[in-house]
């Protein structure tokens, strides 16, 4: 897959963030989403799909090309790094920290997308769909929180329209890194990103999507994983 196509796909996945924010500004659509828990269902769906990508594609690729020690170190480093970043951002608690938090969710996914594209795997197209599905409710929820904090629509939209640009940047890093180095380095990159994304799924996506006395949205996680499983079977 060419670098230009990879960057375009990463940008397309990032557009889902301001798209989710735009949905929130449409009162009738927002009301329907909140009333029927559609935003929570989509959050779980995206999380389940990303979990499928980690379990069925990324980790198997990584452990095939690196040693047990290197695999463990890369995976753990990714999760610990995003744990520390997330903890620091929550302590700050400003709109800027919320903006950086959105980037911290999207960048490892984009790096992963670029690394997968460099291997020539068709899983890239499935990853784009998965990341976009996770990004849309992220934009929906983040816009709600940040609008309450700032009350400024102009600067808020400037921030949200800037976020998708992080996609091509992350994808370029992953693509270039894997293209210029060995398969072992690519495997380490995938395991590092997988560790970070797995942390984000269980610390951010799943708890935020949970609703008291509403069990149905969790079926979204099962549906998302099923999409990843079936997509992977078709690809291979």
Q: What is the pLDDT of residues 170-209, one digit of tens each?
A: 999 888 877 777 677 778 888 888 888 888 877 776 665 5
Give the closest residue to 202 by CA, choosing from 105, 111, 128: 105
Q: Answer for the pair 232, 124: CB distance below 8 angstroms, yes or no.
A: no
* Cα radius of gyration rounded to whole Å, the chain: 17
Q: What distance in Å separates the CA atoms of residue 221 and residue 47, rounded to the nearest whole number?
A: 6
| Residue 192 neighbours by CB distance under 10 Å | 24
Write out pLDDT tens, residues 58-111: 788 888 888 889 889 999 998 898 888 878 777 766 666 666 777 777 888 888
140: how many CB neighbours lie within 10 A of its CB?
Answer: 25
pLDDT at residue 14, as a whole number: 93
More confident residue, 156 or 145: 156
pLDDT the model gives residue 235:
67
H or E element that contains 153: helix 153-162
The counts of H helices and E strands in the chain are 12, 0
Q: What b/e string do you get for 55-88 counting C-beta neighbours within 10 Å, with b at 16 or more?
A: bbbbbebbbebbeeebbebbbeebbebbeebbee
pTM, two decimal places: 0.76
């Amino acid at each position: 897959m060419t670098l230009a196509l990879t960057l375009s796909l990463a940008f397309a996945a990032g557009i889902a963030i301001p798209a989710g924010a735009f949905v929130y500004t449409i009162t009738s659509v927002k009301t329907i989403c909140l009333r029927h828990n559609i935003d929570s269902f989509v959050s779980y769906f995206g999380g389940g799909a990303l979990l499928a990508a980690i379990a069925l594609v990324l980790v198997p690729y990584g452990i095939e090309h690196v040693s047990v020690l290197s695999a463990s170190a890369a995976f753990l480093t990714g999760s610990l790094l995003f744990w520390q970043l997330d903890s620091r951002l929550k302590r700050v608690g400003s709109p800027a920290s919320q903006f950086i938090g959105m980037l911290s969710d999207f960048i490892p996914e984009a790096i992963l997308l670029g690394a997968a594209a460099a291997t020539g795997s068709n899983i890239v197209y499935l990853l784009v769909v998965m990341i976009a599905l996770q990004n849309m409710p992220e934009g929906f929820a983040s816009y709600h929180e940040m609008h309450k904090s700032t009350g400024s629509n102009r600067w808020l939209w400037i921030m949200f329209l800037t976020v998708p640009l992080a996609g091509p940047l992350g994808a370029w890093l992953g693509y270039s890194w894997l293209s210029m180095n060995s398969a072992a380095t690519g495997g380490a990159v995938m395991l590092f990103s997988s560790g970070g994304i797995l942390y984000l799924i269980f610390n951010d996506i799943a708890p935020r999507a949970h609703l008291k006395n509403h069990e149905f949205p969790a079926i979204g996680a099962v549906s998302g994983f099923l999409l990843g499983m079936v997509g992977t079977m078709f690809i291979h």
